[in-house]
Structure 1
């Protein structure tokens, strides 16, 4: 990625609008592949449905081991996301998010702003009946905020993380 580079992008909004539960509530709800029938029952989901398969996939991804050098965690509450992030980065942190476009198109990179440090925790929203974020920390990384401008004048901002060591 270099300023002036043009590329076709399709950054779309995640259709899952589920909200986080309070930590006290999230801790009361089973989140384990060993308890799938109980989870399906809690959310009134038929075990052979598309929704059941999505729940199963999310839990299995959360339970799978991380790749070498990756520390991972599935946050089921905002409090647990903050706890994981601060345990990896310390208390002096900044949060960034990609601005979502309503439509894709040709975008040009205006500039790139490197964020300080070589550590980052990245969290991705997963499909689940309530908000679950797959968070992971790998070192070393480089993080950038990248302002973008579309051929139609639309502006957006992307956050990009580079894994310096991709051997795993």
Structure 2
């Protein structure tokens, strides 16, 4: 695509994104009338950057731990599926609460955590009509790279290929999965699994800091019923906003209020606890960090600020 065509395309997309902000809020309210938007979604609608040249991050966010879809980020290194971390990666994360056991999820527990602003420079949602007109398949990767002027030999191109390949993998008997390329399709997936009477929440930190700090759990609130699935949606690194969403069964979601041990900064965090880990790979990083084996030992982790969970509300 030559420069003039690229600029015309990006300009039309940018105008569509700007005009669509109010419409996206209206769509959310029409489908989820009892559900305030979680900050992870609200910030993208209000501040998301339209796609442009170099719209993808050159590398994953340089934070000690990132849980999202199938990627665990250690600094600039990615461990796929949480498997086979190096000794150095494990050693570097002995001082941060990556995973923890459910028995430690209670008031007074001290966690070493890091909260960073992941939404300052994120890409915007495209209107569904625009998103649906853009190919999103492995066979169309060359067209996608050309359309957004991404170098085929770049890290960004590799990220696009890997994300699309992951999205094309089928779900399994315990997980319904979907890669939402628009807010509307993400809402529709959620309501198809949970109905319209749902709650939704994302992590919100009063203050962000690149350092790992000590936080104390103040209190813990269970969100979903024990026998009810939740839907988790994870923001992906792409040229426009794409969320990997999936249902999680035998998984509990919690709102956890934290306070900084040194500065008193407050955090309203989201924690998910996986009740059954028997099907996880024995080499999963969680087992190596916690020194436990696969089985019915509930394992928990915090969600970053650009992820959110939804659950069916009680009638």
TM-score (norm 1): 0.93
What's the counterpart of residue 218 of structure 2? Answer: 110
Q: 1:64 aligns with which of 169, 172, 176?
A: 169
What's the counterpart of residue 157 of structure 1? Answer: 268
**Alpha-carbon distance in 2 for matches of 1:99, 1:29:** 32
- Checking the alignment, whether the CA contact within 8 Å between 2:224 and 2:230 is kept in structure 1 is no
CA shift digits 1:17-62 (9 cap, x unpaired):
1011111110000000111100000100110011111111211221
What's the counterpart of residue 250 of structure 2? Answer: 140
**Alpha-carbon distance in 2 for matches of 1:164, 1:92:** 25
What's the counterpart of residue 94 of structure 1? Answer: 199
- Checking the alignment, whether the CA contact within 8 Å between 2:232 and 2:246 is kept in structure 1 is yes
Flag the structure with higher strand content: 1
Flag the structure with higher helix content: 2
CA shift digits 1:55-96 (9 cap, x unpaired):
112112211233540111011111001100011111101110
Identify the range of structure 1 (94-103 vs 148-157) with the bigger mean alpha-carbon deviation.
94-103
Query: Cα distance 1:154–1:67, how it changes in 2: closer, same or farther (>3 A)?
Result: farther
Say if 2:9 is the partner of 1:9. no
Larger Rg: 2
The alignment covers a number of residue pairs equal to: 168
CA shift digits 1:1-23 (9 cap, x unpaired):
11100010013232651011111
Higher relative contact order (CA 8 A, sep 6+): 1
Unmatched segments (≥5 aa) in structure 2: 1-104, 280-315
Unmatched segments (≥5 aa) in structure 1: none
What is the root-mean-square deviation of aligned Cα atoms in Å? Answer: 1.5
